[in-house]
Amino acid sequence: MKTRPVAAFPPEVRPVAGRVLLEALVVMGAGIAFALAANLVSPRGLVLTRNYFPAGIRHPVPAVTNVAGSNAPTLSPAQLLAARLREQGFKLIDGAQVQQLFRDPRLAQGTVVFVDARDEEHYREGHIPGASEFDPYRPEKYFPAVMPLCQAAEQIVVYCNGGDCDDSEAAALTLRDVGVATNKLFVYGGGFTEWLTNNLPVETGERNSGKLRNVKP
């Protein structure tokens, strides 16, 4: 049995097919040229000679994880917070240490500073006396007042409501990113909730308003 030969393009079709192929190549070349030009002028363009995937680099795996079904003990929220802060270079302090710093003469000298990382409404309802207001989600509003205090301080206690509130951690990260030394930043894990539970002094309104409650004679 003989097989039929595959029919070639008729002569009148060949010039059309050639033109289509040529136009496709021209369009493709123009697209590549445009992409290269855009990459060169863009501030976020790729450096074509750079190796973006070098061998041997591994992304770090978080050291603190609770994996369901594993034999590792489940960490409490306080332990998880302490581990996260340790990874960031911060220190977690407890209520007794915070009270000691609150009574430290350096507080009046400005070398110990308290920073309240809650929003304005909660801050004005009550805060640790003398604490500076610093909402980490609106930092530009508070930088002018907070930064000089932080730069002059030796120790900075950052707090929020405590418990599962991570605004104090966010505030510490924000302050660190704008130049506050990491070793000066301490996070009060118990936060303002623990402060209230211990019936410690509370200031309402603005910083140094003089409006105090829970002041023991």
Model pLDDT for residues 114-168, shown as the tens digit of each residue: 999 999 999 999 999 999 999 999 999 999 999 999 999 999 999 999 988 899 9
Domain holding 91, by residue range, is 77-207
Residue 205's pLDDT band, with cuts at 50, 70 and 90, is very high
What percent of the chain has pLDDT above 70?
A: 66
Query: What is the pLDDT, as a whole number, of residue 16?
Result: 55
Query: What is the pLDDT, as a whole number, of residue 34?
Result: 54
Question: Do 121 and 190 share a domain, yes or no?
Answer: yes
Is 40 within the bounds of a domain? Answer: yes
Rounded distance, CA 187 to CA 91, Å? Answer: 6
Question: Do 178 and 126 share a domain, yes or no?
Answer: yes
pTM of the model: 0.66
Query: What is the pLDDT, as a whole number, of residue 68?
Result: 44
Picking from 98, 182, 107, 175, the residue whose alpha carbon sits closest to that of residue 142 is 175
Is 17 within the bounds of a domain? Answer: yes
The domain that contains 160 carries what CATH number? 3.40.250.10
Is 54 within the bounds of a domain? Answer: no
Average pLDDT over residues 186-211: 96
Q: In total, how many domains does the chain have?
A: 2
CA–chain centroid gap for 118, Å, is 16
Query: What is the pLDDT, as a whole number, of residue 163?
Result: 85
For residue 115, the tally of other CB atoms under 10 A from its CB is 30
Average pLDDT over residues 23-29: 64
**Torsion, CA 55, CA 58, CA 59, CA 60, rounded to 10:** -160
Query: What is the pLDDT, as a whole number, of residue 130?
Result: 97
